[in-house]
Amino acid sequence: LFNFFFVEPLYSFQMDGKEYPVTIAVMLAASLITSSLMNRVRSHSREMAKKAYRTEILLDNSRRLRRIRDKKEAVKEVSGQIKKLLGLPVLFYLYSGGGLEGPFFFPADGEGHMQEEEFLNQKERAVAMWSAARGKRAGACTHTLPDAKAIYLPVKSGDRVYGVAGIALEERREIPPFEYSLLTAMLNEAGLVFERMEMMAASDERGKLYDSGRAYFSLSVLFSGQWNHYPGCCPDGGGL
C-alpha cells in the first residue's frame, strides 16, 4: 500500500528508486515489531483482568464463608459459588468417620441440565467415596473411574478430608485451567472453614466438660461443708 499510494510512480507497484526496497523492508519490520508488542500488551491485559477477577471471586468467597457456623450452610454456599463459576450442576458429600453424608444436589439454572436422579446410584457414590478416602480427584475427565458422570474433588485441609464436591461435566469437557484453579482455591478455602468448625466444636465440648467438672467440685465442697455440721458423724466430732 505504501508503494502504491506514496512511491513514484503513484498508483503502481513499480519501484524505480534503489532506496525504496530498503524503506519498505524497514517499515515492514517496524510493523511486525509493533504488532508483536501490541499482542503482548493485550495478553498481559487479559492476564491482569483474570487475576483481578480471581482475587475478587476468592475474597467474596472467603467473606461469605467466614460468617458461616454450620457445615450444611457452608456446603450450600460453596456449591452455589461453584455453580455460579461453571454454570454446571453441583453435588456435595460431607465425609466423616469413614462414611459419606449426602449428596446435597444443586441443579444448574435453566433447562436441559442433568438432574439429581442421575447421580443417586451406587456407581457415582462409589467414585465419591474413592475420592474422599484417598484425598484425590476422580471421575469424569480423569484417569480414575472416568466413566462417572461427574468429576469429584476432595475438600480437605492438609491430609484431613471433610467432603467431596462433584461437578457434572454434561458434555464431558475438562474444566478450563483458569476456572479449575479458581475451583481448587475455593475448595481449599472450604476445607479450612470445615477445619475451623471442628476445632470450635471440640473447644465448646471441652468447655462444657470443664464447666461440668467445676460444678461437680462445687457441689462436693458444698455437701462436704454441710456434712461437717454433724459432729457425731465426723472423726473429729466424737462420733460413734
Mean pLDDT of 190-201: 88
Helix axes 19-66, 177-227, angle to 10 degrees: 20
Of 224, 189, 8, the C-alpha closest to 81 is 189
> pTM value?
0.67
Q: Highest mean pLDDT range out of 107-111, 136-140, 198-202, 209-213?
A: 136-140
Mean pLDDT over the full length of the chain: 80
In angstroms, the CA 60 to CA 199 distance is 23
Predicted pLDDT at 22: 74
Distance CA 119, CA 91 (A): 8
Place 206 in a pLDDT band, splitting at 50, 70 and 90. Answer: low
Q: What pLDDT does 207 receive?
A: 62
**Is residue 94 scored above 70 in pLDDT?**
yes
Better-scored residue on pLDDT, 173 or 226: 173
Q: Is the pLDDT of residue 183 over 70?
A: yes
